[in-house]
Structure 1
């Protein structure tokens, strides 16, 4: 009988304030998948399920997480409140909103009081992708495998730019 391989425990937690935030945060998950970083993803609302948010943050270290990526729109308290309840690095992704285009979320995430740091990323999809890359770089400080993966990603990105640096001399018809 063949031994079944146990999937790796997640090292990154992706949390978001509501199901609608998945439209943005799925890009974090996709980038982590592409890099081979194990993660978990779930809705944990700072406003609607505060006890669940506290439990999630307080048990993250014991569950083996090493980085938390929190996406939130509007008042965007999830990243800051999560950071207040854990010693893990928390990366905040402002989700673009219809009313203020994500600026409200960005300002909420950036304006943390001294002593409770949150790494704030760009609004929307670019921030979601960069959160995955930054989490991978953080993991690379402890896990050589992820440093190699991240270094390879950066080298491939540079090579693509070098390959495509020339523009056509004439506009296409």
Structure 2
């Protein structure tokens, strides 16, 4: 690891006191897993500063994806959107993806002039993958791991999560 990468890595390790790392095992793919999660956060403003400072110092651009981003509106703190926006707006080495399934909440967060994230992003709606593409994809990967699944079962599971049009 070159010196710049090592310094960034060490800063990340030392600075992220609120991060929990977990190793596990995925029985479906028979592979080891690694995940990062937030631990006990008693002072979110310091945790955000630690995370974003570490990412900004990385020797390569970073991408942070927030899934179900609208959930921050349910946090008990009144200013969490403004706090997050105040950190994000100054970063040049970090790019963000904000995803959410509650379209009306996400839309309001980014299109209401009274909200901190107003006009700070480009909006893009992702539509479900068609069954014509999805079913062969799933079956291929099941075969790759020497597992069997019938197309009708993939379709049934797909239908549980996606309204078929």
TM range (shorter): 0.3 to 0.5
Larger Rg belongs to: 2
Q: TM-score, normalised by structure 2?
A: 0.34
